[in-house]
Amino acid sequence: MSDRKSKSVQSVNNRQIVIIDDHPLFRDAMKGALASVLVNATVREASSLDDGIKILDDDRDCDLVLLDLKMPGVQGLSGLAYLRAQFPSVPV
């Protein structure tokens, strides 16, 4: 493997990812899928938007948020809009 590709794979593998979803089976499935592709990634889970916001407040180094758009207590795309406004540098 070339040095360039090796560095690219290494940087992708060391990602910080947050899954925000109210369904534990879906969170487990997503975490398993990510772990099989991104071996050294840190994947954190939140069962509510509020819990996800706490994680992001505590750790601003998050590289990606995977967000359920239909969670209890969140109307429409308001959760997405809030995350984009509060954490503009984090892809959702």
pLDDT confidence of residue 75: 85
Decide if pLDDT at 89 tops 70. Answer: yes
pLDDT per residue as tens digits for the range 61-70:
899 999 999 9
Decide if pLDDT at 7 tops 50. Answer: no
pLDDT confidence of residue 48: 96
Residue ranges and CATH numbers for the domains of the chain are 3-86 (3.40.50.2300)
Q: Which residues contact 39 (CB under 8 A, 6 or more apart)?
A: 13
Decide if pLDDT at 11 tops 90. Answer: no
| pTM for this model (two decimals) | 0.83
Place of tokens 């984090």: 90
- Rounded Cα distance between 43 and 18, Å, is 6
